[in-house]
């Protein structure tokens, strides 16, 4: 009995933090403010500017209609890439440039017009019947110098328990 407990203890120490609460700042949009929002007229998306964007020309054109909804100037376009899978592109409504997001999510993403924070698979999207441990929120910040979403150190790898009734 002692040997099993001694062997299991390191495993439990490794697994238990995975279900820890995500630090509040990792999901707080007000911690990562974006500069002012742009206004009409909005640029058309440049779907032929990159081979990757041109593969998704129709969904990007349709999804980019409307005002910016992320980081002051971008319209987030989302589409399915399998089950469960969501892909994203950011359309700059001022220039028309398209930034393909090299991250996919199982459930989707949460973002706001006044923030640079982009959360893939946020905790509130984890469904009641989602298999426990299968979804992990990942927080990113828009980096205007590299035109990419960068993971926030210390904010990722917190697997969430499902809300499934047992």
- pLDDT tens digits, 1-10: 334 334 333 3
- pLDDT tens digits, 114-138: 999 999 988 888 765 566 666 788 9
DSSP count for the chain of H helices, then E strands = 3, 7
What the block records as the tokens of 117 is 């924070």
10 Å CB burial of residue 24 (0-12, 13-18, 19+) is exposed
64 in Cβ contact with 100 (< 8 Å): no
- Alpha-carbon gap, residue 22 to 40, rounded angstroms: 37
Q: Find, among 149, 140, 95, 98, the residue nearest to 119 by Cα.
A: 140
Spell out a b/e string for 107-146, using b for 16 or more CB atoms within 10 Å of the CB, else e: bebbbbbbbbbbbbbbbebbeeebeeeebbbbbbbbeeee
Helix (H, G, I), strand (E, B) or coil at 138: strand
The answer to whether the pTM exceeds 0.95 is: no
114 in Cβ contact with 149 (< 8 Å): no
- Per residue of the chain (166 residues), what is the pLDDT tens digit? 334 334 333 333 333 344 557 888 899 999 999 988 899 999 999 999 999 999 999 999 999 999 999 999 999 999 999 888 899 999 999 999 999 999 888 889 999 999 999 999 888 887 655 666 667 889 999 999 999 999 999 998 766 655 544 4
């Amino acid at each position: 009995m002692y040997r099993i407990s001694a062997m299991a203890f390191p495993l439990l120490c490794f697994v238990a933090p995975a279900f820890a609460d995500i630090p509040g700042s990792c999901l707080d949009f007000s911690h990562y403010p974006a500069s002012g929002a742009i206004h009409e007229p909005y640029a058309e998306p440049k779907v032929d500017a990159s081979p990757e964007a041109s593969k998704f020309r129709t969904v990007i054109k349709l999804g980019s209609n409307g005002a910016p909804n992320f980081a002051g100037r971008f319209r987030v376009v989302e589409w399915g890439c399998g089950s469960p899978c969501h892909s994203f592109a950011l359309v700059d409504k001022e220039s028309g440039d398209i930034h393909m997001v090299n991250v996919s999510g199982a459930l989707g993403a949460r973002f706001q017009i006044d923030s640079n924070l982009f959360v893939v698979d946020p905790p509130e999207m984890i469904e009641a019947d989602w298999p426990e441990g299968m979804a992990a929120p990942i927080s990113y910040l828009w980096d205007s110098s590299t035109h990419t979403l960068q993971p926030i150190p210390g904010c990722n790898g917190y697997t969430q328990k499902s809300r499934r009734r047992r």
